[in-house]
């Protein structure tokens, strides 16, 4: 059986006078540096068969933002398959988070490609709150379904 890349994420949301807002992260690294549309994501990450997806979602939230995920009742938003074949499962949790403590996790990759030089980059280079429509316009296309499903819930 072929290995299936699987990822779990936590979509934090809050209610404001302007409506429902979601917390998204802008993907770090040189590929995403000058992009905005399609470069925002639900905080998420890969996990193996030995880890429960909900536990992975909470762990990845902490790793990617450097902030503990708020406690709350998880709302299952189901899953989707991204263009690269990765299966993504997401839960929503209502809560607020002060982004002043945002300290992203990092990853290392060869950059420039083919140079033999390794460089470290943030997994997310920034995080921000967006209304559902604004978030839907910026998030990775396959993940927009999670914002739609959240809108049905709230």
- If you average pLDDT over residues 124-147, what whole number do you get? 97
Predicted confidence (pLDDT) per residue in 52-86, tens digit: 999 999 999 999 999 999 999 999 999 999 988 99
Q: DSSP string of 139-150?
A: B-GGGHHHHHHH
Phi-psi region of 66 (alpha: psi -120 to 50; beta: other; left: phi over 0): left
User: What local confidence, expressed as pLDDT, does residue 128 receive?
Assistant: 97
User: What local confidence, expressed as pLDDT, does residue 101 receive?
Assistant: 87
Question: What band does 3 get if pLDDT is binned at 50, 70 and 90?
Answer: low
- If you average pLDDT over residues 48-54, what whole number do you get? 94
Nearest-angstrom CA–CA distance, 36 and 56: 26
Tokens of 83: 């263009």
- Nearest-Å Rg of the Cα atoms of the chain is 15
Predicted confidence (pLDDT) per residue in 95-109, tens digit: 999 999 899 999 999
Question: What band does 151 get if pLDDT is binned at 50, 70 and 90?
Answer: very high
User: Count of CB atoms within 10 A of residue 12's CB?
Assistant: 25
- The residue length of the chain stands at 154
User: What local confidence, expressed as pLDDT, does residue 1 receive?
Assistant: 44
Tell me which DSSP letter residue 99 carries: G
- CA dihedral (116, 43, 28, 31) in degrees, to 10, reads 80
């Amino acid at each position: 059986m072929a290995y299936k890349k699987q990822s779990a994420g936590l979509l934090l949301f809050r209610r404001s006078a302007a409506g429902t807002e979601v917390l998204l992260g802008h993907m770090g690294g040189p590929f995403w540096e000058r992009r905005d549309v399609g470069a925002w994501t639900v905080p998420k990450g890969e996990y193996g068969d030995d880890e429960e997806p909900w536990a992975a979602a909470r762990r990845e939230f902490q790793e990617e933002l450097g902030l503990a995920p708020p406690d709350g009742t998880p709302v299952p938003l189901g899953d989707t398959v991204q263009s690269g074949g990765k299966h993504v499962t997401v839960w929503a949790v209502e809560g607020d988070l002060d982004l002043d403590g945002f300290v992203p996790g990092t990853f290392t990759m060869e950059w420039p490609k083919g140079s033999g030089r390794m460089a470290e980059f943030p997994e997310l280079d920034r995080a921000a709150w967006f209304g559902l429509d604004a978030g839907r316009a910026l998030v990775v296309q396959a993940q927009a379904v999670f914002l739609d499903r959240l809108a049905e819930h709230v």
